[in-house]
């Protein structure tokens, strides 16, 4: 079972991830994340920090995903473990569809083509949804782009996430991420346990 956590920056993914680590001990899940694969993760982080060319960035995110799948996700799934990943392919479809807009004629087609045929589809994707203004106020202090540029970008990213969720409602669990961390954690824990019971 592959479970992924998605949402815009500041939605609360890292907070939920840490909470699930302490709540799901009995299931012994493998906790992992993207970007951050063995040996490539650092290159991706450097590219993000440097605000690299969007195509370079996108290609690195895909390469990071390939290493992550081969070295971390597939081995764990093969041995029967539950895998919980903080970000996964939906991050590409949400973020790169926006960042590639001015450098590629059809970002969605490119993204679909580079993932098709080899990637593993998540069984369950938890999408934390929060107004961009709330997410941005939570991020105050993190070094970021110009405020309005970032707000516009995150609005577009969230729109892409919601469109993907609408296309695949049986995979996505939408969570109102403006609630308290404890309420979110209770709800998500319950939903994961229910999903595991059903499968
Ligand atoms: N449900 C919540 N309500 C209020 N603040 C939150 C909530 N979840 C996270 N935060 C705070 O918002 C900031 C960003 O959260 P984080 O989990 O790092 O988000 P993400 O990993 O999605 O970027 C952190 O300071 C965190 O403590
Ligand atoms: C995995 C992934 C992340 N990203 C972006 C989202 C974040 O802005 C940035 C770093 O991700 P991350 O470290 O998860 O940041 P955060 O905890 O703030 O959400 O990389 C993409 O644009 N595409 C991707 O495929």
Which residue among 95, 122, 130, 136 has the greatest number of ligand 2 atoms within 8 angstroms of its CB, and so is best to mutate?
Answer: 95
10-residue mean pLDDT series, the chain (199 residues)? 98 98 98 92 88 90 96 98 98 97 95 94 98 93 71 97 98 98 98 95
Supply the DSSP symbol for 95: I
Question: What does the pLDDT read at residue 103?
Answer: 93
Task: Give the Cα separation of 170 and 167 in Å (integer).
Answer: 9
Report the C-alpha dihedral over residues 93, 117, 173, 91, rounded to 10 degrees: -20
Pocket test for ligand 2, best of 13, 35, 89, 122 (most atoms within 8 A of CB): 35
Q: Residue 89 CA: which ligand is closest?
A: 2
pLDDT score for 145:
60
- Does 181 sit in the ligand 1 pocket, CB within 6 Å? yes
For position 196, what pLDDT does the model report? Answer: 96
Q: Rounded to whole angstroms, how far apart are CA atoms 21 and 125?
A: 17
69: helix, coil or strand? Answer: helix
Provide the pLDDT for residue 174: 98
Q: Dig out the tokens for 142 from the structure.
A: 């993190």
Question: Beta strand pairing status for 30-33 and 172-176?
Answer: unpaired
Residue with CA at minimum distance from ligand 2 atom 13: 35
Taking the centre of ligand 1 as the mean of its atom positions, its distance from the CA of residue 11, in whole angstroms, is 6
* Nearest-CA residue for atom 7 of ligand 2: 9
How big is the chain by its Cα radius of gyration, in Å? 16
Give me the interface pTM, i.e. the ipTM: 0.97
What's the token pair of residue 6? 């998605």
Which distant-in-sequence residues (6+ apart) come within 8 Å of 28 by Cβ? 81, 82
Query: Which of 135-141's residues contact partners 24+ apart within 8 Å by CB, and which partners?
Result: 135/8, 135/9, 135/10, 135/11, 136/10, 138/10, 138/12, 139/9, 139/10
- Largest separation between any pair of C-alpha atoms in the chain: 47
Alpha helices by DSSP H, the chain: 13-23, 41-49, 54-68, 74-78, 89-91, 97-99, 107-115, 132-139, 147-167, 181-198
DSSP-assigned letter for residue 7:
-
CA 105 to ligand 1 center in whole angstroms? 35
pLDDT computed for residue 119 by the predictor: 92
**Considering every ligand atom, which ligand is closest to the CA of 10?**
1
- Residues for the chain: how many in total? 199
């Amino acid at each position: 079972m592959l479970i992924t956590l998605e949402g815009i920056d500041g939605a609360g993914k890292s907070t939920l991830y840490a909470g699930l680590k302490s709540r799901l001990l009995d299931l012994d899940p493998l906790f992992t994340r993207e970007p951050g694969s063995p040996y490539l993760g650092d290159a991706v982080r450097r590219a993000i920090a440097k605000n690299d060319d969007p195509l370079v960035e996108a290609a690195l995110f895909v390469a990071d995903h390939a290493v992550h799948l081969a070295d971390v996700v597939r081995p764990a799934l093969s041995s029967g473990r539950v895998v919980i990943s903080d970000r996964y392919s939906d991050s590409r479809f949400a973020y790169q569809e926006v960042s590639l807009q001015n450098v590629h004629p059809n970002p969605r087609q490119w993204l679909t083509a580079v993932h098709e045929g080899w990637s593993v589809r998540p069984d369950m994707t938890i999408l934390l949804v929060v107004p961009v203004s709330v997410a941005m106020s939570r991020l105050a202090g993190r070094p970021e782009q110009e405020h309005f540029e970032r707000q516009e970008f995150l609005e577009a990213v969230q729109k892409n996430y919601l469109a993907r969720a609408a296309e695949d409602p049986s995979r996505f669990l939408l969570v109102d991420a403006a609630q308290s961390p404890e309420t979110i954690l209770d709800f998500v824990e319950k939903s994961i346990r229910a999903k595991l019971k059903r499968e």
